[in-house]
């Protein structure tokens, strides 16, 4: 309305008006919502932690582990090695059990993927995975070594040909590029985004970082509202209290 977001329209057609609208749909959900509404372009960049898993057969079947990922290790090349303690099928209903795995993840992707809205659905095209061959070879060598004879069935170690993802999508509306440090979308007054979309860089699982950013932004907005101060968007993400450690 007059170039400003003033509310939301529900699927029922009902309209809810508000001084501001805050979108928290997750990187993919927010992209789909805003692109379908014509608020952002039909193509947005995004980043993801791509993962290759090394599978093997265990000599004994273990009881269900209390946590799927109790520990990780990092390599000098920026890869993360995930020592999964159990099969994902034991933790996620409907997912078939396969075999134990060790994941090798590219934690510092150099290329962005693309989120493309075609008018009906959001197409998600992740960027090709960077080179983590050294880490993969190390995992295969370790699982195939004599030290693992009592745990791993001989000849069962193999690299899954399918490159997966960590469900860590971020960066489609990054701070300092498309949003300011309080999540305000550049050129769209009355609209903020507070989810993984606004993270400029992620070198670990983003879940805690997203929660931290949401708390910081909420506190700042409350302070501004209580002080009845006019809010001028900051085009480059420079919080007055210092920079975030992503």
240: pLDDT strictly greater than 50? no
Letter string b/e over residues 87-98, b meaning 16 or more CB atoms within 10 A of that residue's CB? beeeeeeeeeee
Note the pLDDT of residue 226.
Answer: 78
How many CA atoms within 13 Å lie on the side-chain side of 228?
Answer: 0
pLDDT at 243: 41
Does residue 241 surpass a pLDDT of 60? no
- 212 versus 92: which is more confidently predicted? 212
Angle (CA) 119-123-128 rounded to 5° is 150
What is residue 231's predicted lDDT score, i.e. its pLDDT? 54
Q: Rounded to two decimals, what is the model's pTM?
A: 0.84
């Amino acid at each position: 309305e007059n170039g400003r977001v003033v509310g939301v329209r529900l699927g029922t057609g009902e309209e809810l008006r508000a001084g501001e609208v805050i979108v928290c749909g997750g990187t993919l959900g927010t992209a789909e919502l805003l692109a379908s509404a014509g608020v952002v372009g039909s193509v947005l960049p995004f980043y993801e932690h791509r993962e290759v898993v090394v599978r093997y057969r265990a000599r004994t079947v273990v009881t269900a582990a209390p946590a799927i990922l109790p520990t990780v290790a990092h390599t000098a090349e920026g890869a993360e090695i995930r020592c999964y303690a159990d099969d994902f099928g034991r933790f996620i209903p409907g997912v078939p059990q396969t075999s134990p795995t060790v994941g090798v993840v590219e934690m510092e992707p150099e290329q962005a993927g693309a989120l493309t809205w075609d008018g009906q659905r959001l197409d998600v095209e992740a960027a090709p995975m960077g080179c983590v061959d050294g880490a993969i070879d190390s995992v295969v060598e370790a699982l195939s070594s004599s030290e693992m004879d009592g745990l791993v069935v001989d000849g069962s170690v193999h690299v899954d040909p399918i490159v997966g993802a960590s469900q860590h999508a971020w960066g489609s509306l990054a701070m300092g590029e498309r949003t300011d440090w309080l999540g305000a979308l550049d050129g769209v007054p009355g609209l903020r985004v507070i989810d993984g979309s606004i993270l400029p860089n992620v070198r670990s699982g983003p879940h805690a970082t997203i929660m931290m950013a949401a708390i910081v932004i909420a506190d700042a907005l409350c302070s501004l509202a209580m002080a009845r101060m006019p809010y001028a968007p900051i085009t480059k993400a420079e919080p007055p209290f210092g920079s975030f450690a992503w």
